[in-house]
Amino acid sequence: MKIRQSCLQATIGIVLGLGALPALGGHGTGGPVLSIPSAYAKRLLDEGDRPIFIDLRHQAQHRQGRIPGARSVPLLELRQRYAEIPRAGRVILYCACSPEEIEGAYQFLRDQGYRNVSVMEGGFSGWVKHGYPVEK
């Protein structure tokens, strides 16, 4: 049901020209987390949108495989390296961490003034499970 709800939100957002809408039920301290399904992220790539993927996993995991073109900014280094994340363009965060950790990263970036950031549902494993491309 949650996936269907998220896909519906993304579809409504696209139709209205708003992009993906905030996921219902987000529970970070700074409000709901803007989350998008991996299928929507893949469609952006397919349509030439070129979102900026930020891989929050450890660098060793990033080297083993990542979403094509993803930039590595490990979660443990985010506070020191967040300025490397562009403030323009669509930024999509993903990881292999708990929902609380990815929500914390999202909220941290929002607190730093980022308004162009969202979280990909299912993280890297969700991307792989759908059979989407991975580069090494």
User: Is 27 domain-assigned?
Assistant: yes
pLDDT(24) > 90: no
Tokens 């930024």 appear where? Answer: 91
pLDDT of 8 > 70? The answer is no
- Measured in whole angstroms, the distance separating CA 68 from the mean position of its chain's CA atoms is 14
Q: Per-residue pLDDT tens for 54-83?
A: 999 999 999 999 999 999 999 999 999 999
pLDDT above 70 covers what percent of the chain?
A: 78
Contact 83, 95 (CB under 8 A): no
Q: What CATH number is given to the structural domain containing 100?
A: 3.40.250.10
The secondary structure of residue 30, as a DSSP letter, is T
On whether residue 2 sits in a domain, the answer given is no
Say what the pTM is: 0.78
Query: pLDDT band at 23, cuts 50/70/90?
Result: very low
Contact in structure between 71 and 54 (CB atoms under 8 Å): yes
Q: Residue 122 falls within a domain, yes or no? A: yes
